Amino acid sequence: MPSLTWIVDLADPAHTSAVGRLRRSFADAGYADAGDSPTADVLLVWVDRPLADSVLHRLATTTALVVLAGSTLELGDPDGRLADRAGLLLGSPTPSHDIRVRAGTDAPSVLQPAGHAHHDATHLGEHVHVVDRVLTVDKQLADVQVLLTAQVGLVAQPVATWRPASKLLVWSLGTTTAATDSRPVNRLLMQCLGHVLGEPARRPVRVGLLGYGAIGHEHSRAARAVAGLELAAVCDTSQQRLTAAHEAAPEVRGYLDPDDLLADAGIDLVVISTPPSTHAEWALRAIEAGKHVVVEKPFALRTEEADAVLDAASARKLLAVVYQNRRFDPDHLAIKRLVEGGRLGEVFQLETFVGGYGHPCNLWHSDEGVSGGAFYDWGSHVLDQILDLMPGEISYVTAANHKRRWFDVTNADHSRVTIRFASGAEAEFIHSDLAAALKPRWYVLGTEGAVVGSWRTETVVARSDIGTLVEDVLAPADSPPRISLHAADGSVTQVATPHAPPYEFHQELADLLLLGLPMSVTGEQSRRVLSVMEAARASAADDGRPVTPR
């Protein structure tokens, strides 16, 4: 991979840190960090003040490809020498706002939207939202290639240009900390740099779905919607479910035998949505067939099974990751933003609850031998959220189960897991089908404040076939809770719950496999969640004794 030297000189320390995180992303993606080496393949400059004469001389004499990022072209060269080399006559910057970045007239195929002649290499989609300013361009020379644009009024303004004659890539996005931290910005910069370096366009990741139950349609929609993924095949042992899959995506190949899916050379990645007790088996078989794997929750029922999957994937340089979709829930994202922003101070107590009073479902979710038990079902979601918010070292886990009412299913009726961290902080998760009174979804205490996540009761109103009113009351867990921030002075603020972009997990999946950008969810994190669930089951079986996760 090419080597990069970074020249960064920004007034805002937070913005400098954001560029540092981007630099690490490039290193994770395989670009060698050349430090200050004069022989680097690429010289990337990100400044918001006039460049020193020594840097201008280096840019004028280097044989490396030069990238001018952020405000560099606007503020780094008041005399306009770099703009002349870039073949651009600059206008004025717009205020920062939500812009839609689209493929330019000279965009490589990897940046073209779906439906374009080069749609087989798409990874941009119709457009990408970025909150940033646009540096307008009044004129450009004929030999300047426009890779990306953003609309300003009725004019498509270039935000990424490449001039082969001067080996200069202008990337005028990333002028703020938020814009530089934006994953779409990272993705587009990496794509443009790869293009000008002559890297071959990557075809979409071809996805096969193993199992088309309740979650299968969600994976089908995502694989068809996300730029960089392509739904290729679906397999289910039920002809009825396979028919449902074809109704949503008639063009995909369908299999009743899983062996046929794994033998399909036109599949790069298999999404495993079989019952939990079979996750590890199918993941290993898919890896042996040379496929990347996405596993539904939980990862497996035992940590040694997860270790075997991760080891096999690592040995073959393949991806093994778990679909931790609730990492992107609005309430979790809101609380994570508060925690990481220091609004709570040091978090030392975190309590979570999911449940109500009612008979559990009669599917495999309630069969301990298949699902792993009550700790593994909702626990796969909520314990992952807890460990995302509190990633510190765990000292031990204690747990308890109650079986008092629903004897026709094998899962516990009520369960509790408590995690004790080495720092002394604690986290608790309760799941109950015997809770006639609900606890808050979230109760988080910090040294500077607290968060409460309150359940909502929502009703879906519709008409019956004969026109009468029909009301469907949603279970509390089917609606995002309301989040309130409680300050030390007694004030209470309702917190906005930001929605992640649609199919964010699947977009990160495409970014990793096509560009090398790291995912926020990793297989190792889900293995850690599994180790806590396994420790909880052992603790509950031994009268609540403390168990250290493996």
Domains of the chain: 3-196 (3.40.50.880), 205-323 (3.40.50.720), 327-520+528-541 (3.30.360.10)
pLDDT at 115 over 50: no
**Furthest C-alpha separation in the chain:** 80
Per the model's pLDDT, the better-predicted residue between 75 and 118 turns out to be 75
Mean of the pLDDT values across residues 141-163?
93
* Sign of the alpha-carbon torsion through 209, 210, 212, 213: negative
What's the pLDDT score for residue 457?
A: 83
What's the pLDDT score for residue 239?
A: 95
pLDDT at 272 over 50: yes
pLDDT at 414 over 80: yes
pTM of the predicted structure, to 2 decimals = 0.88
Helix (H), strand (E) at residue 69: strand 65-69
Confidence of residue 38 (pLDDT cuts 50, 70, 90): confident
Strands 88-93 and 32-33: unpaired
Q: State the DSSP code for 311.
A: H
Tell me the pLDDT of the chain averaged across its residues. Answer: 92
In three-state secondary structure terms, 235 is strand
Q: State the DSSP code for 51.
A: P
d(CA 293, CA 322): 8
Q: Which two tokens stand for residue 224?
A: 């068809």
CA distance to 29, 290, 317, per residue, from 313 (Å): 18, 9, 6
427 CB-near residues (< 8 Å, 6+ apart): 349, 350, 351, 352, 386, 390, 418, 419, 421
Per the model's pLDDT, the better-predicted residue between 29 and 115 turns out to be 29
What's the pLDDT score for residue 113?
A: 42
Question: Do residues 367 and 361 lie in contact, with contact meaning Cβ atoms separated by under 8 Å?
Answer: no
Q: Degrees (nearest 5) of the Cα angle 347, 352, 356?
A: 165
d(CA 41, CA 63): 8
pLDDT at 120 over 50: no
Residue 423 phi/psi, 5-degree rounding, is -75, -10
Confidence of residue 373 (pLDDT cuts 50, 70, 90): confident
d(CA 522, CA 314): 13
Q: State the DSSP code for 358.
A: S
Question: Do residues 150 and 99 lie in contact, with contact meaning Cβ atoms separated by under 8 Å?
Answer: yes
Per the model's pLDDT, the better-predicted residue between 527 and 107 turns out to be 527
